[in-house]
Amino acid sequence: MLEYGVMRRPPLSEPADMLLADVAIRIQLSPTDYGKAEQHYQALADWIDRPGSPLEGLVELVYAQGSMAIGATIASRLTTDEFDADAIAQLSLSPDVAPATALDLLYESIRGEPGSRYYDKTERQSRCTTVCYPDMHVDLTPMVRLWHRSERTGHLFHSKPEEARHFDRTLIANPYGFAEWFKAATPLDHDFAVAFSERARGLEQVVAAESEELPGQTHVSQKSKAVIVLQLLKRWRNVRYDQRQGRRPPSVLLAKLVAEAANKTGSLSEELLHQAQAMLAEFWRWHVHGSLIQVENPACPNDDILTDRWPGTLAAQGQFIDDLEDLVVKTERLVAGCPLHEMREILADLFGEFPAQQAVAAFNDRTGAEIRQGHSQHGAGGRLVLPATGLFTSTGVASSHATPRHTFFGGNWRRRS
């Protein structure tokens, strides 16, 4: 099969692609966790509409939004499997309801009376209510539908209890429309989706009986390259911002930029490099003119601004540009081919020590088995050994197979001094 004038390689056939896929598998939701998240927010939908609730009879619809809606949720903490699930609660309230009133009504409806199921698990946020479970958080955001606008466009609300009410804001948004736009822009490559799904099933050792998938639900490991790269980029962002103060680049902004640059590569590692280069180019396009990047929801242009709370300052934007430049340099090294111990160091730096170490160990075991069976093209006469230090030594493989490097923007982007 030809793609862009070159023979297309089988999906996940290069060491860099295998390792990146294994990292992605380890940071995303398993089918069991995905099912649990859906059960949690569906239970919340019934709870806030219960008899005696402040919102009894006023709950029109509850549905997934954000990363949950596009299949890009990852572990929200670096050292645990905790993750966040986002959902919208569409309420039958006046579009002119005060922001604090809408948010307080939802909070009070979820929290309930002392001793009730969510009373000690509920936190009021500036735009949602968070319900804390042992292994996840569910953020439920109130929305009032604007029926004269496109499907599911509505008012969201911003109100911090500790601030004066004149700081409150009512926002127009359409998270449902964004999710539909994103999915249309990042369709599945069937061969890649099958290869990734099979690898995910094998590495996770998922037992089908553990969770019953909902009717019509696509298995959570059936993803496009762009979605996998979005998950990797979110994890990379979390690693970079783990010890920093202030806000981090919002996931919806990363998703928008990834979708715009999708479907231009043939492998997972090339997709990561291409997306990093494209994102860097877009940020530089604004930064060189002394402007903050501005990105809109294509399903709600002019009103739903995805950059309304970040970056906020040129300094914050410049810091992220520095991060992107570092990401490009390290990903170029992965794509071009480098020794496996260097690959491990790069993966640990970009995505954290734990998933990198696990991915490398799995690669080592799998490649060793393939070498012994005579099926591997990545080495011969031995197996990769993962010593106690966590670094590779090699008895048969010195480096990954070099892959021609693409520069989709005619060259490398570097900060101009």
The residues annotated with a catalytic role in the active site are 84, 86, 139
* Closest residue by Cα to residue 22 from 190, 187, 231: 231
φ, ψ of residue 328 in degrees (nearest 5): -60, -45
- Residues 214, 117: Cα–Cα separation, whole Å: 25
Q: Is 382 left (phi over 0), alpha (psi -120 to 50) or beta?
A: left
E-assigned strand segments in 49-120:
59-64, 83-91
Is residue 107 within 8 A of residue 121, CB to CB? The reply is no
Q: Would you say the C-alpha torsion 18, 21, 23, 26 has a positive or negative sign?
A: negative
Q: Give exposure, 191-227, as e/b (b: 16+ Cβ within 10 Å).
A: ebbebbbebbeebeebeeeebeeeeeeeebbbbbbbb
Pair of tokens at residue 388: 């106690």
Cβ partners under 8 Å of residue 148, min gap 6: none
E-assigned strand segments in 20-67:
59-64
H or E segment at 92? none
Q: Which amino acid is at 273?
A: L
Note the helical H segments in 145-204: 175-185, 190-204
Collapse the DSSP code of 305 into the 3-class scheme (helix H, G, I; strand E, B; otherwise coil) and give the result.
Answer: strand
- Residue 166: Cβ within 10 Å count: 6
Which residues are 144's β-sheet partners?
A: 155
- Residues 280, 267: Cα–Cα separation, whole Å: 20
Bond from prior residue into 311 cis (ω within 30 degrees of 0)? yes
Collapse the DSSP code of 139 into the 3-class scheme (helix H, G, I; strand E, B; otherwise coil) and give the result.
Answer: strand
Collapse the DSSP code of 409 into the 3-class scheme (helix H, G, I; strand E, B; otherwise coil) and give the result.
Answer: coil
